[in-house]
Amino acid sequence: MRQVWMGNDRCTLDGVPFEYGRANYANLITTAERVWVLKPGTFFDQYDLFLRGSQPQRLLELGIFQGGSALLLADRWDKARMAALDIKPENPAVIEHARRFHFDDRLSFHYGVSQDDEARVLAVIDAKLNGSPDMVIDDASHYYSHSRRSFEIVFPRLAAGGLYVIEDWAWAHWDGWQTPGGQLWEHPALTNLVFELCMLAGSSRNLVSEIHVSRPYVIVRKHCGVMPGPFRLDEHIVNRGQKLVPI
């Protein structure tokens, strides 16, 4: 691993500074001189702790932002083939950093792709991840509807024992997000998806073997292998005929 952290908010990779952005996200733009990342150093350490020394082989990251996460994970998980997608326009500086760090043979960026665009998401998986990732990280819109649809699209392709991660699921419960009219205020909490995934685990012995919930992320471990689609959560959740009332 070539990244060197100076505290929790900054690191360098081959001399290029990476900085943890906490606010004013629209103004954070990766350039040739600096890379922005929305995760502190401890966030990456928690992944390593959960994986217990192993690493994924085929990783799909939903959400590129300014490329910092994908670049640092590519360094950290040096055997992984990775594909990252985002609805945002391309940032050439991010692609150039991947080339500079010699990640471009195993890390691909796919811009202008919405996380709920089934055809294009599956095309990326087929072209870059041999049709079946063994780890998925959703750090994209954080909208309940988009994140739910992404799960329905990608979970069937996840390998047996693979991990599906949803980051920042708890935004609706954070102190700084309680002001009416603020960002995401009108949207249902992403927590609703966590409830549904727990119900999915309880409803089927074959789909989910484990769910790990912590403040930074929820991790779902798949039990079975690749499944034929289409997949809809509502069709696999058994709940005495009751409907979940979204919060």
Compute the mean pLDDT over every residue in the chain, rounded to the nearest whole number: 96
Residue 46's domain spans which residues? 39-235
Q: In this model, does residue 150 exceed pLDDT 90?
A: yes
DSSP 104-157: TTTEEEEES--TT-HHHHHHHHHHHSTT--SEEEE-S---HHHHHHHHHHHGGG
What total number of domains does the chain contain? 1
pTM, two decimal places: 0.97
Output the domain CATH number for residue 166: 3.40.50.150
pLDDT tens, residue by residue, 86-134: 999 999 999 999 999 999 999 999 999 999 999 999 999 999 999 999 9
pLDDT at res. 23: 87
